[in-house]
Amino acid sequence: MPVDAECFDRFEAQAKANKWRAYPKRQASDFHIDDEDRKAFFSSPSLPDVCLDKLKASGAVDHRGKFRTSATKKSYLLLQGIDLAARTGMKFASSLLLIAEVLSKSFRQTGTEEVSRKDTGALVNILGPVARLSYDQFAKVAVKASFDRRELVLDSIRWPSDDIKRRFMELPLSGPDLFAGKFEEQLLTEIKRRKDINKADFNFPRSSSSSIRTRRSSPKPSFRRPSRPSAFPSRQQSIQGRSRDRPRIQAPGRNHPKSTSTNFSRRPLRGSSRLETFIRQLSSQGLSQEAAVLASEASLETVADFLFHIFKEGKQASTVKNYRSAISSIHEGCPDGSTIGSNNAIYHLLRGMFNGRPPRKRLSPSWSINHVLNSLSTSPFEPIHNTSLELLTHKTLFLLAAASARRRSELHALTTKRGFIRFSHNGVYLIPDPTFLTKNETASFSPGEIYLPNISSSSSIREDRKICPVRALIWYIEKTKNIRSSERLFLIPRSPYNPASKDTLSRWIVNLITPHIDNDDPVHAHQLRAHATSKAWFNGVSLSDILKAAAWKTPSTFVSCYLTDVVSNEGAFARSVLGISDQHRRPVLPPSCRC
């Protein structure tokens, strides 16, 4: 039986809660659809094989493809029966719609004097609305049943994110199966799209003196990594769309139209933190983000004035260098062929700033990591089975941070999802959430998994087990198993047990360190990363192992920014000069790492 094409429009409109369109006056040929389309539309959606495989792997369904939970199984079968009945009714109503249209056309083409009964016309005219009303009711039931069945299935699958699950809920209802035949394709596409967005980066080529004029009319950026979606206008569009007569970097206090910004659920582009800081500085002076685009055409004198203005506000010379780097990344170049980053005049200006306001020196932190570890092995942190959830949380966090030497952002991204934490006899492997990217992660460098050894089984000293990170982690996961409202590893230890923020993790670490400092020096959670890696270095751990554990790409980062004297190694030079034997000999850095 041919099917009225309006059925498709009405069904999709019902699914999207749209208003009905006026009944179209179509030709007779438009009232037929292909058998394949009709079968795909009017057959009840079924589970695709890839979906069943995932459900079987997770234990949600048995080998016959039936849900293991009796309530879910009963609900699914009931919804499937309702869906089949509703679609059968839709076929019937669709046939009535066609019959009603044919009779209506025939009645209009036949003279009223040839009709045997006077009320035949009224009956024919009312047949169409009745059939459409019947179809609407069946469509509502079918749509509701399909949505509910789909939601039952999606709730049984572990998704990389809630957004991916939401996108599957919005797939069309027509098609050969519950996911329009695109379950795996949609999933892989979505994951790839998110990876491309997270790893997108731009590398605009430096302009030479011979290409400054041509690049203004047709800049061609080269890409080092996959490009991000074009949510922002391209550099060419931004520059060409603005008047050449406008000032390059405008004075503070002027009114500018507010620029719209797009909210991306992703980390900042690598190397773009300076540019974002630069834009925030412009905003603090009353300028909009479009000033950053105008800065790409600013003269050398204007850039120098801007940098000096930042310096007069009290910023350090190193901070001004960050602004210079941000401007240089978008600037078209100077008339002499140099860039803002390599221009000799800018170099001497920054050198004068350094001499006029040299960086402030700070003493090494006065606290010792050993003192904190000793306190964690005594009351009230031990015995561990009697300690409170709050103290257990703080202890677990500190031991993980010290043993892994990872940033607080990586500790914050740890999750209890299946496949992201694996215990073994010798230790535990941890992987952050896949949507998280580390500060220095690029297409060519990705930090490895976090491995924590089981000190309880590898050390013969009984007291060592009290500072074993694996032991603390096992107790913590077990204690929070029944109160979890999130898959994040670290939770706030009070109801409603929400995930702890990065600032909260830092505060917990600082609270453990503070009782062990001898003065009023400020304590920062990031000092633990420096203390842990420095202690490992002075205890003879190889440089390659330290770089791997702390997820550093080059040794220079560790040597210049993190390597600090620990208490047991201070005064090594003086002791050697005075002839006093030094049992703690400092390891020798390779020549390539020396500052």
- Amino acid letter, residue 346: I
Contact 143, 172 (CB under 8 A): no
Average pLDDT over residues 419-435: 87
CA atoms 55, 59, 65, 66: torsion sign: negative
pLDDT of residue 286: 47
Domain ranges of the chain: 6-197, 246-254+268-361, 369-593
**pLDDT band at 531; cut points 50, 70, 90:** confident
SS (H, E, C) 36-103: HHHHHHHCCCECCHHHHHHHHHCCCECCCCCECCHHHHHHHHHHHHHHHHHHHHHHHHHHHHHHHHHH
Reference 184, options 54, 57, 56; nearest CA is: 54
pLDDT of residue 510: 92
3-state secondary structure of 119: coil
**CA distance from start to end of the chain:** 84
For domain 369-593, the CATH class is mainly alpha
Q: H or E element: which one contains 165? A: helix 162-169
- Amino acid letter, residue 590: P
Average pLDDT over residues 217-237: 35
Task: Please state the φ and ψ torsions of residue 371, each to the nearest 5 degrees.
Answer: -65, -40
Residue count (the chain): 595
Average pLDDT over residues 522-537: 85
Residue 116: pLDDT over 60: no
pLDDT of residue 88: 66
pTM for this structure? 0.46
Quick: pLDDT tens for 48-62: 566 666 666 766 667
Average pLDDT over residues 15-32: 45
Q: How many CB atoms lie within 10 A of CB 449?
A: 10
Average pLDDT over residues 217-228: 36
**pLDDT band at 173; cut points 50, 70, 90:** low
Most confident of 69-73, 251-255, 520-524: 520-524
**pLDDT band at 239; cut points 50, 70, 90:** very low
Residue 287: pLDDT over 50: no
Average pLDDT over residues 505-513: 93
**pLDDT band at 37; cut points 50, 70, 90:** low
We find that the CATH architecture of domain 246-254+268-361 is Orthogonal Bundle (1.10)
Residue 225: pLDDT over 50: no
Cα Rg of the chain (Å, integer) = 34
